[in-house]
Structure 1
């Protein structure tokens, strides 16, 4: 009994394709859904999976042939009918002699996280690894997770390459026992031809045709197909890039305006990280859901700056933490939230949930994007405890070590754009919270005090709030209370 392999549907208005590459040859064993060949149309590249398991019996359409939709490409015979199958299976006993193997699985990702993207492999197949040595890094929509080696040995197989999306129970790689180390040197001869400029994979026929017509050296084209195979679009990109270079070089001497280079050749397309995708989705959802409004005020930072200057050395000596302005703002916000509790509330269906505690979110920029670690029960903490917590969370955020739990449950958020030089902005709510305070750059400005123009260190404050549960009066009152506490920090001690 045999199974036919036919050309799949190629897409609207596409009626034919070229067989670019066969990954299997007659006699090879194939598994269900294993890739058999690659077809190339004028728009896309299509991979053809095996419709059934068995042995490749016959290839009807060879590489380079043009085939129509539903055309017969090959036939697969059942395993028992193949005479060449035992030959392919012969090396199996050798693999069994390499010793025990250990599977590398996706670690626990955190509550409600079901998948991750493999961002970086630190080891490659054939490398010796020690127990607990970092093998790879996974990226979820909130945090990065490092995957250590569960045992010592040799990395014999990588099942999830960089860029692959894996679920929470997926196998990432296999580590062989110490006997497997002998397999590593065997890979060296295979790599030798590549080092000398040769390639052990066939480029797509259409790509080879264009390279021959244009006189392009195949070694100069970076392939994007399977195993580095050069595809038609790779050659077209190389042609465009080559055309752009002479135009740019000739521009200074040309008596007329130079012809613009192909913009596509000067662009770089990078897939968004899962964290950036989540940031984009959450911020847009916030705009679409909340009735967001922003109110502004300004604060004279003279008193807070003077108090900090007077006590910062003594504070650091006693508490081992640097005295910054974030503790002043956190304290001021906690104080104001007690008076205007709706800013610390959230909507749940048709209910308003008032929080009788303050879990303060402190927005922090990291190399991979914005995260918001949460300082729990900030309203019960001292200046020193707040500064220590912010410093510790900030470092963990920059190092990508924050856990899911550390970024959940916030009731209000502070975002400090001033550290980047921002003078004014409208922060976006962090759902389901109803308020976020934006801090900005402290800048000397002329202001009127007691009828006199004086120079004072001023900062603009911005409170974005959900107008569905926070009225304008409440929002303005909150911001005024923060302003008053910062302009006279003694009010915090007196609970005024």
Structure 2
């Protein structure tokens, strides 16, 4: 015997009204336990929602473009009754009615040439709502607030003038290229000015005039992360301090650890040791374990650290929680698991949220010093370059030492130069002598 069961959206963190960007199954299709049904897109990454058990999809209640939250109905599934379960119903299942889509669906917007969503000084030019409130979903309003886009000045292309994400992106592109102006810009830009006050319009170039070209669409992750990075760079007054850390003894310690734990299948990386070092540094300098909230600074009592992970689709930042309470081996094991999930595109929202501080390591690729962009609402990020052997004068002679270049970017609204110098120096000294972390 079989029964019909509802498939609803499980807990996806604090996200609400997220967009369905792919539907992976169709009515009549048999699915197995754990098979992905739909893909949704948050402001951090794409998430696949799986089936909780095996069965046959009878009806689909969502389509691409729908917005869903925890508890939303995705589909009806026919599943086999458990063995031995009494079921007085012997008649065959009734033919299901056509799937009723109960969520609001936005029809495709008019074709527009998409550009990456970019934040800009538009965030300082929000205009007041004029009369009737624009027709837009909560997620679109949140997007507009983050990017500083005045919804009252956007003409929606959806049903009843509903504003879609494509409408917001198109508006931003037209403003950035000088094809349109906000009301604030019209009031402040000289007659001969460009799209933004004091700036020339973005150059429009036919690249094919100079030779053959190939166009590629940005991945979803790059579109989302690009908008966040641009906003953070424009809105946060970045300052970057550079420091060198002598990790000669630390590297020997790391190699020894890996020999001792080789059978356990755990590989301790330099990044795991950096994680532990930064957790201690954040405790010693609480201003770096903070966020700016209006005219208040939020000092966090927990120590969750994110690390930039390179994936085929772009950069993501998994977060390891309570680093201060974990040993280096546990940190290394968890980091390996999160890195694997990141490469497979399987990270969930909870695994990429709640970070207090981030580390961006290019050591496996190359390079020395750089300016990492702060991952708002954090106030600092540590960039790590590739270590190299240098001759260091010890007072009598030059001796070979393994040197690790560090680049600390910090938010000057919250942190001053003296604190940043001390933080960077503490990290470098702790890496040079790992025993300091026990003091």
TM-score range (shorter-chain normalised) is 0.5 to 0.7
Instruction: Write the distance in 1 (CA, Å) between the matches of 2:275 and 2:217.
Output: 37
- CA apart distance, 1:348: 1.9
Instruction: Write the distance in 2 (CA, Å) between the matches of 1:279 and 1:153.
Output: 37
Among residues 292, 296, 304, which one is paired with 1:347 in the alignment?
292
Structure-2-length-normalised TM-score: 0.62
Root-mean-square deviation (Å): 3.5
Structure having the higher helix fraction is 1
- Between the two structures, name the one with larger relative contact order (CA 8 Å, sep ≥ 6): 2
- Worse overlay, 418-427 or 101-110: 101-110
Instruction: Write the distance in 1 (CA, Å) between the matches of 2:276 and 2:57.
Output: 53
Q: Secondary structure at the match of 2:363?
A: helix
- CA apart distance, 1:465: 0.5
Kindly tell me: are residues 407 and 156 of structure 1, through their superposed partners in 2, closer, same or farther at Cα, counting changes over 3 Å?
closer
1:113 and 2:16 equivalent? yes
1:358 and 2:308 equivalent? no
* Corresponding position of 2:403: 458
1:267 and 2:221 equivalent? no
1:95-123: CA deviation from partner (whole Å, max 9, x where unpaired): xxxx98766554443213321232362x4
Q: Secondary structure at the match of 1:420?
A: coil
Instruction: Write the distance in 2 (CA, Å) between the matches of 1:171 and 1:269.
Output: 35
Q: Point out where structure 2 has 5 or more consecutive residues left out of the alignment.
A: 81-91, 96-206
Among residues 286, 296, 304, which one is paired with 2:242 in the alignment?
296
* Corresponding position of 1:337: 282
Kindly tell me: are residues 425 and 175 of structure 1, through their superposed partners in 2, closer, same or farther at Cα, counting changes over 3 Å?
same
Q: Point out where structure 1 has 5 or more consecutive residues left out of the alignment.
A: 1-98, 183-259
Over alpha carbons, which structure has the higher Rg?
1
Kindly tell me: are residues 267 and 165 of structure 1, through their superposed partners in 2, closer, same or farther at Cα, counting changes over 3 Å?
farther
Alignment of 1:225-304 (within 5 A): 266-270=213-217, 272-273=219-220, 275-304=221-250
1:374 and 2:319 equivalent? yes
* Corresponding position of 1:409: 354
- CA apart distance, 1:126: 4.9
Instruction: Write the distance in 1 (CA, Å) between the matches of 2:9 and 2:337.
Output: 27
Alignment of 1:132-171 (within 5 A): 133-143=35-45, 144-148=47-51, 152-153=55-56, 159-161=62-64, 164-168=65-69
1:186-230: CA deviation from partner (whole Å, max 9, x where unpaired): xxxxxxxxxxxxxxxxxxxxxxxxxxxxxxxxxxxxxxxxxxxxx
Structure-1-length-normalised TM-score: 0.55
Instruction: Write the distance in 2 (CA, Å) between the matches of 1:462 and 1:332.
Output: 15
Structure having the higher strand fraction is 1
Q: Contact 2:289 / 2:303 at 8 angstroms: preserved in 1?
A: yes
Q: Contact 1:160 / 1:172 at 8 angstroms: preserved in 2?
A: no
* Corresponding position of 2:329: 384
- CA apart distance, 1:434: 1.3
- CA apart distance, 1:386: 1.9
